[in-house]
Amino acid sequence: MSSSFRRLIVGAFFCSLLLPVLGGCHYRGDSGLVAAPDGKVRFDRIAVVPFQQILPEDAADDVVHCPLCGTIIHAQRSSGNPEQVMERLFLAQLDRQKPKAAFMSGEKVAGVFQRVSASSLKMPLRQVLSEVGRELEAEGVVVGYVYRFRERKGVAYTVEQPASVTFDLHLLRVSDGALVWRGHFDKTQSSLMEDVFQLGAFFREKGRWVTAEELMDEGIEAVLETFPGL
């Protein structure tokens, strides 16, 4: 065992001993990303259609399928409107990152999406989104789906139940309806004692338990690292 690895293990052990004092925490889960196939996808105009919360049809079952890619995902009913929270955080992240592409959102995009969806009930979703993009003269369309938005039970330094968030972001190419990018985020915050090797989140969050909105904001920032053009 090398001396550097031994120091890492010892450091992790002593950090875990601080848990009762600091209330340390980090994240556990999977953050899988699928980048654009050719790595060169760039759009000048992108429409952001209203994000949606995807709920299980059966209250006894928590399994749903992504409306666009068909991936099986475990979902949980959430109170409030987490899809609106996600869309707001997504647009705020874009505002901070200053992308080269022009992103369109708001009432005009929502109106076109609702009208096209209502008049094309038998049309595949990708075709609906492509039609929305064409009407808005956009080259790409972004859509987001929230599957779980579970708020913490407790306060910043002590909880009965940690925050947990799962969502998808998709970028669709209007010209052919192809999905050129997907960002998936699935995390439940856990204590440092449960996993002493991920110390980054412990220091980033200053040893506190975050809210579901804070966890979602971190997830959006993480998945956007591979968004084409950012």
Domains within the chain, CATH numbers bracketed? 3-226 (3.40.50.10610)
227 pLDDT above the threshold of 90: yes
Cβ neighbours for 63, distance < 8 A, ≥ 6 positions apart: 56, 72, 73, 74, 75
Residue 34's identity, in one-letter code, is V
Angstrom CA distances, 61 to 83, 118, 150, 151, stand at 21, 28, 17, 20
pLDDT tens per residue across span 151-195: 888 766 676 778 899 999 999 999 999 999 999 999 987 655 554
6 pLDDT above the threshold of 50: no
Do the Cβ atoms of 228 and 171 come closer than 8 Å? yes
- pLDDT value of residue 3: 47
**CA neighbor of 30 nearest in space, from 164, 205, 170:** 164
- pLDDT value of residue 56: 87
Angstrom CA distances, 155 to 19, 122, 193, 208, stand at 16, 47, 18, 9
Cβ neighbours for 138, distance < 8 A, ≥ 6 positions apart: 43, 45, 46, 47, 104, 174
Q: How far is CA 29 from the centre of its chain?
A: 12
pTM passes above 0.85: no
Cα gap 178→69, rounded to integer Å: 10
